[in-house]
Chains A and B, each alone.
Chain A
Amino acid sequence: MKHLTYLRYELLRTIRNRRFLIFSLTFPLILYLTVAGAHKNLSLDGISFPLYYLSGMAAWGSMTAVVSSGARIAQERSVGWTRQLRITPLRTSDYFIAKILSGYLMALFSIVVLALAGSIIGVRLSAVQWLTMLGLLLVGLIPFAILGILVGHLVSVDTLGPVIGGGTSLMALLGGAYGPLATGGVFLAVVKYLPSYWLVQAGKSALGGGNAWPAQAWIVLAVWSIVSARVAARVYRRDTARVQ
């Protein structure tokens, strides 16, 4: 990343975008405090409910943050800004990296705010466990960051809201972010092919033991990342070849 000033303004723009802030920060936080706050002493799958739900909300909030960041490319395309950037020395890869980094910044905010809320209502983890959770979340977000860039090239500004809102909610729902999933059967076998399932598991994996990420998690995330990146690259080339 050669252009630090550009990155700085890109981050500044992200922080100033209130709607973005509400969806990736406020919604998961409110849901977390109301649901987990009301069931502080409950325990699910052998995990305290505040931690269980923290995993889900952190996954949902951070996923929304990185997807929205890339998807904002749709808005910048629609007003001709990406064309303007293409006649500056900024490389396309740096443009995408800035989008991913600002998405990650918001994701980090979301995770930190939820973690603080979690510790207020009784989540107790060691520093190593917190860092493991954070690390796994950041890795699990990679396919979503790439999917965001893909969405930004496929979707028009009019449909951007529903696609991000609906897409991330569906991913979160199927991944088990909102509540416990079936503990076996075909459904569970299928959702284990979704990156969101493993993103939700990141928090629980932090406790180690039986809930840690298995090889399947790494493979699913890698495949989603690679496939999304290849599709996004193809869409990007098609997009720049056409007159706008």
Chain B
Amino acid sequence: MVTSESRTGGVVLSDLTKSYGEVQAVRGVTISIHPGETLALLGPNGAGKSTTIDMMLGLTRPDSGTVSLFGSSPAAAVQAGVVGGMLQTGSLLGYLSVRELVTMVASLYPHPLNVDEVLRLTGTTEIAERPTTKLSGGQTQRVRMAMALVADPELLVLDEPTAALDVEGRRDFWTAMRAVAARGKTVVFATHYLEEADAFADRIILMARGRIVADGPPTEIKARVGARTIRATLPGVDDTALSSLPGVMKADQRGDAFVLTCSDSASSDTALRALLLHYPQASDIEVRGAGLEEAFLDLTGDDGVESDEAPRP
């Protein structure tokens, strides 16, 4: 039985490993998630995100290591109805309307939310009477979100929830999900959309090849590899002169413009001051923090080929 006191334990994964035959899907993953935290598991396909989530939910038994959900085993937490999830694969159950399906799922939980409220929150009110098999990809995904939300779970686990959605669908999805997170629920989601993890999570865990390669708030993840670039239009200047400015790692010429790469925000500040001091004619200056995309490539040590494929358009 999950008591309110044990819930303060949050979600604890200790040294999880899982192999499928020769393939080591997860090789020693330890994560401690505080109640109310929103955590993104970020990584390319095959990083071990889905296997980690399956072990977290008790769908897959780890080869070694333990999972504790608010002080209970995954099976006990699921039985107690404190877990809600959106799995990566899966279509909806047929021969039901959207409303009937959500009502059916709600009935399985001890303290479900009001079905109409959840339909409204997920933007599925207009399609509530439609058969579940006659929906678009985006609508299907919103119904699956409704099924996860109606449980009113303490822990909401989403395995690549927006993989099938277009840009607008993703934005709508996260708008609805923010409302949930705001209620103090613990949210864990897997994604390979870097901007999604950055925008929505309090904390990002980067996974690659079954291991955690970085763990921290989005800003910290970026700062750790935190390359910054300064772009400036500066005609008639030699790139070797620019690359010798303090804080600059390298300088690339792009026509009349230069791109100066700095290792972090402190060195880009230094470089910018030096640039303006020595080349006051520099114009059209732009300083950019590296996106998670670059952080990702750097931390996972990928050559970029795999990651180019990972984020779907």
Of A87, A89, A91, which one neighbours B80 at CB under 8 angstroms?
A89
The number of chain B residues touching the other chain, given as a range, is 35 or more
Q: Does A93 contact B (CB under 8 A)?
A: no
A13/B108 in contact, CB under 8 A:
no
Q: In whole angstroms, how far apart are the Cα atoms of A19 and B94 in the complex?
A: 13
Within 8 A of B (CB), among A59-85: 76, 79-81, 83-84
Q: Does B240 contact A (CB under 8 A)?
A: no
CB-CB under 8 A from B8, the residues of chain A are none
Q: Does A223 contact B (CB under 8 A)?
A: no
Q: In whole angstroms, how far apart are the Cα atoms of A13 and B95 in the complex?
A: 5
Q: Does A116 contact B (CB under 8 A)?
A: no
Q: Does A230 contact B (CB under 8 A)?
A: no
CB-CB under 8 A from B90, the residues of chain A are 79-81, 83-84
Q: Does A17 contact B (CB under 8 A)?
A: yes
A90/B108 in contact, CB under 8 A:
yes
Q: Does A88 contact B (CB under 8 A)?
A: yes
CB-CB under 8 A from A241, the residues of chain B are 61
The proximity string for A residues 37-77 relative to B, scoring 1 for CB distances below 8 Å and 0 otherwise, is 00000000000000000000000000000000000000010
The proximity string for A residues 81-114 relative to B, scoring 1 for CB distances below 8 Å and 0 otherwise, is 1011011111100000000000000000000000
The proximity string for A residues 1-36 relative to B, scoring 1 for CB distances below 8 Å and 0 otherwise, is 001111001001110110000000000000000000
Within 8 A of A (CB), among B91-119: 91-96, 100-101, 103-105, 107-110
Which stretch (B51-59, B178-186, B216-224, B275-283) binds chain A?
A: B51-59
B93/A81 in contact, CB under 8 A:
yes
- Contact A243 to B20, CB < 8 A, known contacts A13-B93, A13-B95: yes
Q: In whole angstroms, how far apart are the Cα atoms of A9 and B106 in the complex?
A: 12
Q: In whole angstroms, how far apart are the Cα atoms of A17 and B131 in the complex?
A: 13
Q: Does B24 contact A (CB under 8 A)?
A: no
Of A3, A89, A244, which one neighbours B78 at CB under 8 angstroms?
A89
Within 8 A of A (CB), among B25-67: 51, 54, 57-61
- Give chain A nearest CB distance to B79 CB in angstroms: 5
CB-CB under 8 A from B78, the residues of chain A are 86-89
B108/A12 in contact, CB under 8 A:
no
Q: In whole angstroms, how far apart are the Cα atoms of A243 and B54 in the complex?
A: 9
A79/B104 in contact, CB under 8 A:
no
CB-CB under 8 A from B83, the residues of chain A are 87
Q: In whole angstroms, how far apart are the Cα atoms of A186 and B93 in the complex?
A: 47
Of A16, A84, A243, which one neighbours B51 at CB under 8 angstroms?
A243
CB-CB under 8 A from A16, the residues of chain B are 95
B85/A87 in contact, CB under 8 A:
yes
Q: Does B151 contact A (CB under 8 A)?
A: yes
Q: In whole angstroms, how far apart are the Cα atoms of A72 and B73 in the complex?
A: 30
Within 8 A of A (CB), among B140-160: 147, 151, 157
B91/A12 in contact, CB under 8 A:
no
**In the complex, what residue of chain A is closest to B51 when comparing beta carbons?**
A243
Give A contacts to B, CB under 8 Å: 3-6, 9, 12-14, 16-17, 76, 79-81, 83-84, 86-91, 241, 243-244
Q: List 8 A-B contacts (CB under 8 A).
A: A5-B107, A80-B91, A83-B87, A86-B78, A87-B58, A87-B87, A88-B105, A243-B20
